[in-house]
Every structure is written in C-alpha cells, then in structure tokens.
C-alpha cells in the first residue's frame, strides 16, 4: 500500500505553542516601521476631504480675529480671496461661506439675506471668477441676518414659524445660486426645507446646484464660539424647538431619511465628535455622501489646551478628524482645515 507523503509532519492545532506565538505577534509585525504601518492603514485623511468654513465681512483690508477661536478670522472680501487661493494651493477644494452682518442691517425679517447684491452674492461672484475650481458652498440660515438671532421667522405669537421661513430660505438659495454657488447648505433645521429649496432652485434654472443638508443638527452647547463670530446668539429662548435633542439617535435617522427623500445630495451631522455613533448609523442607512461638522467648540477646546502647553493641537486634530472618517464621514467641515492640511503636507 502506498504511503502518504509528509507522514512525519506534526499535527498542528491553534493551541500549538509555535502557532499561538505567531498569531500573537502578527499585529506587531505590521506595526514595526512607518512604511508597513502606511501599507495597512485602514482610514486616511487628505486635504481634499476637508471643507473650510470662512467668515466674510464688509469693507477692505480687514482681518478681525475671533477671540474664542485662535487662528480663525473674519475676512473682508479682498483678504477672503487671498485666503481661499492659499487653501486651494494646500489641496483644500471646498469652502463654506458665512456672512457677518452689521447690527444695523439685521431685522426680524432677515431682509438682508434676500437682498440682491448683498455681501454673500458679492463674495460668491468674485470667488467663482478668481478660483473657478474651488467648490463654493454657502450657509443658508437666517440667524446671522435676524435681529433676534433665530434661524427662522418669528410669528405674532413669538414662535419660530416653520412655514413662514421656507420661502425666505428658498430665495436666499436662489440668490446664492445666481451668484455662482455650487452647493447650498441649509443649516436651519426647518421641516420640509430641502424639498422647498430643491423645487425653487429647479424652477429658477439651477438644477445643477446641489444641497448639502444639515440633516441632523443637534441643539448643542458646542456652538458658542461660532455665535460669537457672527454675533448671532439668540436674544430670547433657545433653539431646542427646531434643533435636535442630543439624547436622540432614531430621530436623527428619521431626519436624514426625510431629507434624502426630499432631494438632498449630501447629508451632514453636526457636531462631530460627540455624535460619532450617529455618523456611523447614518452611513449604514444611506448611499448618499455623509459629512461631519467639527464645530467651533470642538476646535476651541483643543486650541485652548494647546495654548496652555497641555497637548499637541496638530496630533489631536488629526486624531479627531480620523475618528470621524473612521465612523463613516466622507468629508468634514472643520476650522482646523488649514492647520491640518499644512500638517499633513509637512509630515
């Protein structure tokens, strides 16, 4: 009878000491040098995945610091253009514009938001001309323009009136599209606003303009520095009747489903770090691109600690943004965009 080959080989099992040792050290072998770590890295961060939020104000040669966000400024249009060109050269391909409105131009109807030729229109037209390959997004919300600081029109009962607000948001979106915006980003959390804006844009001949919906925007305590930057803190009450309860996740999934059905092109979760679970759940649910907003308070905390010498801001920002990417974010709005892009290039 013919003898089987290799009869002298031992019968290994997973319990064999040499096999156990090989398995134990496998992860470490993949960490032993930077080249191998790079080969097996699962999640990557690149400047093209970042969106830089930028604040534009009236005047010229003006660059006003924001005390609670070290390194972030409000720019007049001439200096904003210079900043956007530099961001583009660093590999950042998208910005989101916010308008700093003088107090004397704010009113209950947010009329400056829908005035033809306003600062947002001027900025968009200039940027579209000078940096044509930069994706131009514009924030669509009324709180920078209202004298009461809320995202909607207040009715005679003192309530934020959802339905009265929708036409104003739509007109603001049309003006942005007329001026060259590629994407409008409604951040107000009014019900039905995505469908209303989509219909208005299409009727105005702007079917190619996309909608980045702040689909799950929480009533967060992390927005303080942003409201300082725009002088947009609410003068009465709070925003809990239209922004989301931080305790809820099923509600976030519902909001995202509704916005997708209404025609949103991209979905955004805001804030980022405290809501990584929401990002992950939404990513599982939709085929739309999903983004995270690394908000002003998240940025300010890191910068404050870095100024005290307690941590390395660049490494912390990288870790924070990687966690959002790992959770499923395809893109990230972050005030650290310039800083991180520079850091990634120099490493």
Burial of residue 144 (number of CB atoms within 10 Å: 0-12, 13-18, 19+): buried
Q: How far apart are the first and last CA of the chain?
A: 66
Tell me if residue 217 is catalytic.
yes
Q: Whose structure tokens read 């009113």?
A: 107
With beta carbons less than 8 A apart as the criterion, state whether 57 and 123 touch: no
Q: Verify cis geometry, omega within 30 degrees of 0, for the bond prior to 299.
A: no
CA-wise closest residue to 281 among 322, 318, 328: 328
- The torsion defined by the Cα of 137, 142, 146 and 151, in degrees rounded to 10, comes to -130
CA nearest neighbour of 135 among 204, 231, 212: 212
For the range 5-9, what are the long-range contacts, defined as Cβ-Cβ under 8 Å and sequence gap of 24 or more?
none
Count CA atoms within 13 Å of residue 246 on its CB side.
12
Q: What letters, b where the CB count within 10 A reaches 16 and e where it falls short, cover 230-243?
A: bebeeeeeebeebb
Q: Could you give the dihedral angle defined by the CA atoms of residues 247, 249, 251 and 254, in that order, rounded to the nearest 10 degrees? A: 170
Catalytic residue among 217, 239, 281, 283: 217
| DSSP, res 72 | -
From the list 106, 239, 270, 283, the catalytic residue is 270
105 is catalytic: no
* Angle formed by the axes of helices 276-285 and 313-327, nearest 10°: 30
- Residues designated as active site: 217, 270
């Amino acid at each position: 009878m013919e003898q089987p080959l290799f009869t002298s080989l031992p019968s290994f099992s997973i319990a064999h000491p040499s096999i156990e040792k090989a398995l134990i050290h496998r992860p470490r072998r993949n960490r032993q040098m930077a080249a191998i770590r790079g080969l097996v890295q699962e999640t990557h961060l690149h400047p093209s995945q970042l969106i830089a939020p930028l604040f534009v104000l009236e005047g010229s040669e003006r660059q006003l610091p924001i005390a609670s966000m070290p390194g972030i400024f409000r720019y007049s249009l001439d200096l904003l253009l210079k900043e956007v060109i530099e961001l583009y050269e660093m590999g950042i391909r998208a910005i989101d514009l916010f308008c700093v409105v003088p107090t004397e131009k704010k009113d209950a109807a947010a009329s400056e938001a829908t005035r033809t030729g306003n600062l947002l229109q001027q900025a968009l037209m200039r940027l579209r001309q000078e940096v044509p390959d930069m994706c131009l997004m514009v924030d669509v919300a009324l709180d920078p323009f209202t004298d009461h600081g809320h995202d909607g029109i207040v009715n005679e009962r003192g309530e934020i009136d959802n339905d009265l607000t929708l036409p104003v948001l739509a007109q603001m979106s049309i003006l942005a599209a007329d001026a060259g915006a590629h994407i409008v980003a409604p951040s107000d959390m009014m019900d039905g606003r995505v469908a209303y804006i989509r219909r208005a844009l299409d009727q105005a001949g702007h079917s190619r303009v996309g909608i980045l919906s702040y689909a799950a925007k929480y009533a967060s305590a992390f927005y303080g520095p942003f409201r300082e930057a725009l002088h947009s803190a609410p003068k009465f009450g709070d925003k809990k009747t239209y922004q989301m309860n931080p305790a809820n996740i099923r509600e976030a999934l519902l909001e995202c489903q509704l916005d997708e059905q209404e025609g949103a092109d991209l979905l955004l979760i805001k804030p980022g770090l405290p809501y990584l679970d929401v990002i992950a759940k939404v990513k599982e649910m939709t085929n739309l691109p999903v983004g995270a907003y690394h908000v002003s308070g998240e940025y300010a905390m890191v910068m404050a600690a870095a100024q005290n010498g307690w941590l390395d801001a660049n490494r912390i920002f990288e870790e924070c943004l990687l966690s959002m990417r790992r959770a499923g974010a395809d893109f990230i709005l972050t005030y650290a965009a310039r800083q991180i892009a520079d850091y990634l290039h120099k490493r």
